[in-house]
Structure 1
Amino acid sequence: MSTAIATVLGLGHLRPASGTWASAAAVVLAVAAYQAGGALLVPVAFVLATMLGFWAVPRYLAGRSDTDPSEVVIDEVAGQLLALCFTVIPLWRHGVPDLLLAAWPGWVVPFLLFRLFDIWKPWLVGRADRRHDAAGVMLDDLWAGLFAGLGSTALAGLYHGLVQPWLG
């Protein structure tokens, strides 16, 4: 069970860039949930993925020398879902009916920023990654998700507050 969760049903074995594949899968699921009227499923999925990740990753890593194998991608799913919460919930609260096409920056920007922070590993992301333990595997992606969510919110604020009014 811990292997299925840690690798997100084997998704972590896709190559190249298993973390990007897992992040993309999280985006697809979040957009599908939103489109089906289940925007609140995104934060629920984030909490569930985080809890399952903190349970499964230590079990999966037990007895292994590699403390952050590339096939472990539940952390990317949790981090990506966190980043998406920052845009999905406000869009839902404002009654935006179509996330896929009409509000596409609401999923594209968090995806791109999450991948950037997950790969670049600035500040707290890198600090968590350098723990070299199961908690660090989860925490670096949660920090990346938080920063991606905050960055997405800041960019949306700049666009809607400055650029859009100027464009008329």
Structure 2
Amino acid sequence: MSRAVATVLGIGHLRPASGTWASAATVAVAVGLYQAGLALAVPVLFVLAVLAGFWAVPRYLAGRGDTDPSEVVIDEVAGQLLALCFTVIPLWRHDVADLALAAWPGWVVPFLLFRLFDIWKPWLVGRADRRHDAAGVMLDDLWAGLFAGLGSAALAGLYHGAIEPWL
């Protein structure tokens, strides 16, 4: 069971860039839920992914030499969901009906920023990654998700507050 959770039902075995595949699948699920009128399922899934990840990752890594194998992608799922919460919830609160096409920056920007922070590993993301333990596997992506979410919100605020009025 821990392997199924840690690899998100095998998505972690997709190559190349298993983390990007997991993030893309997460975005697709989140957009689908939003389009189906289940926007609040995204933050619920975030909480469930965090809990599942902190349960599964230590069990999956037990007795292994590699402390962060590429097939473990539940951390990417949790981080990507966190980043998406920063745009999905405000769009839902403003009754935006179409996230897929009309509000596409609401999922594209969090995806791109999350992948950037997850790969680049600035500041707290890198510090968590250097822990080389199960908690670090989860924490680096949660920090990346937080930074991506904050960056997405800041860019949306900049666009809607400073750029859009001039268009």
Q: TM-score range by the shorter chain?
A: over 0.9
Deviation per CA, 1:28-54, whole angstroms, max 9, x where unpaired? 000000000000000000000000000
Corresponding residue number in structure 2 for 1:142: 142
Corresponding residue number in structure 2 for 1:158: 158
Corresponding residue number in structure 2 for 1:101: 101
Q: How does 1:10-159 map to 2 (within 5 A)?
A: 10-159=10-159
Runs of 4+ in structure 1 displaced over 2 angstroms? none
- Distance across 1 between alignment mates of 2:155 and 2:117: 15
Query: What is the letter of the counterpart of residue 21 of structure 2?
Result: W
Q: Cα offset for 1:23?
A: 0.2
Q: Cα offset for 1:86?
A: 0.1
Deviation per CA, 1:117-156, whole angstroms, max 9, x where unpaired? 0000000000000000000000000000000000000000
Q: Cα offset for 1:104?
A: 0.1
Query: What is the letter of the counterpart of residue 144 of structure 2?
Result: A
- Distance across 2 between alignment mates of 1:95 and 1:72: 35
Query: What is the letter of the counterpart of residue 116 of structure 2?
Result: L
Identity %: 87
Gaps of 5+ in 2: none
- Distance across 2 between alignment mates of 1:131 and 1:42: 28
Q: Cα offset for 1:25?
A: 0.5
- Distance across 1 between alignment mates of 2:54 and 2:24: 21
What is the root-mean-square deviation in Å for CA atoms of aligned residues?
A: 0.2
Secondary structure of 2:102's aligned partner: coil
TM-score (norm 1): 0.99
Instruction: Count matched residues.
Output: 167
Q: Cα offset for 1:62?
A: 0.1
Corresponding residue number in structure 2 for 1:4: 4
Q: Cα offset for 1:103?
A: 0.1
Secondary structure of 2:15's aligned partner: coil
TM-score (norm 2): 1.00
- Distance across 1 between alignment mates of 2:153 and 2:52: 27
Query: What is the letter of the counterpart of residue 119 of structure 1?
Result: I
Gaps of 5+ in 1: none
